[in-house]
């Protein structure tokens, strides 16, 4: 499936590049979106996450430009164009996609990387506004494309991810953590990626061949920058200050209770979500490794309840969708909301033999807020960013 989807994307982005710049691109770079299996809002608390890259990606075609000028064409936005000078001070644009491109160029410059002008075309197939990290995949693909074109060999995957996060934080205006960018840069095919968001060390956790990862879109659109995401981050920092630690990662479950006096109920519940979610994430990685689906299902159910009751980032449609899915899956598979919250998608991990039944069951019992059906996106755990040559990653 990925091969066909990738071929279409490659054709689209290459053709747009040729039509606009009258020459073949020097290289094509692809970076995947992601789905998070467990570990939500833990990354910016220096905690643990367990996402996997998916076989939906953003592709960048790039070639040398003139002087210090960068020209960009966005195939997915009606072939909208942008043009900027690498020496000019970053100026925020009304169209968000432009801020991502300008933000990556500015972030690389901030890092001391010298860039030359470039011609760029961008196209992607990561569903947007679904919480599947289309923005992170764009950022990572652009960072890789710019550095490869300029032959800046020194940037490894972690540095690419940090550059993309810096761009989001400083230029796009989203205080996101490192999870999305790091998995888009470092993921391994056929595996989830356990990330320690403090040390940035990662471990691939293989996903058995007979398991399916199903993303189900609730039909509730979400917008990360506009949501209460940044507010949650501030609340977590305030809770960490109460416990006298650098980040909530450092609070133990025992300490959470013993030292809660003086902390208001809301901040306490925010902290409890993060502290317990870290424990669940590590346990879930072990359960996945051991093929213990009943344990994984239990941990995902608890994670969802914690997001709903303590972190308050779910919405009624999503809660209903998870409830419906769990009714069918029972202990045979896990299901929970995935991503930043306030709409978007649910992730289910279950034997491939359950996929068809789950789809029928959800369609029978769930309706999107506008009376339609949920959208099902079957995902394969994929590898991180790559440079493509004749359609094959190297």
DSSP label at residue 170:
I
Q: Which residues contact 62 (CB under 8 A, 6 or more apart)?
A: 25, 26, 27, 28, 29, 118, 119, 120, 145, 146, 148, 149
180 is catalytic: yes
d(CA 203, CA 31): 19
Catalytic residue among 55, 76, 82, 180: 180
Instruction: Give the residue with the Cβ less far from ligand GAF, 122 or 179.
Output: 179
C-alpha distance from residue 376 to each of 32, 130, 236, 327 (Å)? 18, 12, 33, 18
Within 125-184, the residues that bind ligand GAF by CB under 6 A are: 176-177, 179-180
Instruction: Give the residue with the Cβ less far from ligand GAF, 28 or 224.
Output: 224
Q: Which two tokens stand for residue 14?
A: 């290459």
DSSP string, 263-277: S-HHHHHHHHHHHHH
Decide: is 44 part of the binding site for ligand GAF (CB under 6 A): yes
Work out which of 10, 28, 40, 104 binds ligand GAF, going by CB under 6 A: 40
Nearest to 195 by CA among 348, 384, 42: 42
Q: HSE, CB side, 13 Å, CA atoms: give it for residue 314.
A: 23
Work out which of 6, 12, 41, 222 binds ligand GAF, going by CB under 6 A: 41
Cβ 185 to ligand GAF shortest distance, Å: 13
Decide: is 340 part of the binding site for ligand GAF (CB under 6 A): yes
Instruction: Give the residue with the Cβ less far from ligand GAF, 14 or 301.
Output: 301
Binding segment (CB under 6 A) for ligand GAF, from list 39-47, 69-77, 105-113, 213-221: 39-47
Instruction: Give the residue with the Cβ less far from ligand GAF, 149 or 216.
Output: 216
The 3-state DSSP class for residue 50 equals strand
Binding segment (CB under 6 A) for ligand GAF, from list 36-44, 243-251, 349-357, 386-394: 36-44
Cβ 104 to ligand GAF shortest distance, Å: 16
DSSP strands (E only) in the chain = 27-38, 48-64, 69-74, 80-85, 118-124, 191-196, 201-206, 211-217, 334-338, 345-351, 375-379, 386-389, 392-393
Give CA 284 to chain center in angstroms. Answer: 19
Decide: is 325 part of the binding site for ligand GAF (CB under 6 A): no
Work out which of 30, 33, 37, 43 binds ligand GAF, going by CB under 6 A: 43
**Residue 120: how many other CB atoms lie within 10 Å:** 26
Within 204-233, the residues that bind ligand GAF by CB under 6 A are: 224
Instruction: Give the residue with the Cβ less far from ligand GAF, 121 or 220.
Output: 220
- The residue ranges that bind ligand GAF (CB under 6 A) are 36, 40-41, 43-44, 176-177, 179-180, 224, 339-340
Q: Which residues are catalytic?
A: 180
């Amino acid at each position: 499936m990925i091969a066909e989807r990738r071929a279409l994307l490659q054709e689209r982005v290459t053709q747009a590049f040729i039509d606009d710049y009258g020459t073949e691109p020097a290289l094509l770079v692809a970076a995947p979106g992601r789905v998070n299996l467990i570990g939500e809002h833990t990354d910016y608390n220096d905690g643990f996450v367990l996402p996997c890259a998916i076989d939906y990606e953003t592709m960048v075609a790039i070639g040398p430009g003139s002087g210090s000028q960068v020209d960009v064409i966005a195939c997915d936005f009606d072939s909208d164009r942008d043009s900027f000078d690498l020496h000019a001070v970053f100026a925020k644009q009304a169209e968000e996609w432009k801020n991502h491109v300008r933000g990556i160029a500015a972030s690389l410059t901030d890092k001391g990387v010298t860039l030359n002008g470039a011609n760029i075309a961008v196209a992607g197939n990561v569903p947007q506004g679904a919480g599947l990290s289309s923005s992170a995949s764009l950022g990572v693909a652009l960072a890789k494309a710019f550095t490869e074109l300029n032959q800046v060999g020194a940037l490894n995957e972690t540095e690419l991810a940090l550059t993309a996060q810096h761009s989001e934080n400083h230029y796009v205006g989203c205080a996101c953590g490192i999870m999305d960018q790091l998995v888009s840069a470092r993921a391994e095919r056929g595996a989830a990626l356990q990330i320690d968001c403090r040390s940035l060390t990662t471990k691939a956790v293989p996903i058995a061949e007979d398991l399916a990862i199903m993303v189900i879109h609730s039909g509730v659109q979400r917008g990360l920058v506009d949501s209460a995401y940044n507010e949650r981050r501030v609340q977590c920092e305030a809770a960490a200050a109460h416990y006298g630690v650098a980040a909530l990662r450092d609070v133990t479950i025992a300490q959470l209770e013993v030292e809660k006096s003086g902390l208001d109920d809301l901040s306490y519940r925010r902290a409890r979500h993060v502290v317990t979610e870290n424990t669940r994430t590590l346990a879930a990685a072990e359960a996945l490794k051991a093929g213990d689906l009943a344990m994984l299902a239990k941990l995902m159910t608890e994670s969802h309840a914690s997001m709903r009751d303590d972190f308050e980032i779910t919405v009624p449609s999503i809660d209903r969708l998870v409830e419906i899915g769990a009714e069918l899956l029972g202990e045979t598979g896990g299901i929970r909301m995935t991503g930043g919250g306030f709409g978007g998608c649910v992730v289910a991990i279950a034997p491939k033999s359950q996929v068809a039944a789950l789809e029928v069951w959800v369609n029978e019992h769930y309706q999107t807020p506008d009376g339609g059906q949920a959208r099902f996106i079957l995902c394969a755990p994929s590898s991180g960013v790559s440079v493509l040559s004749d359609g094959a990653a190297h």
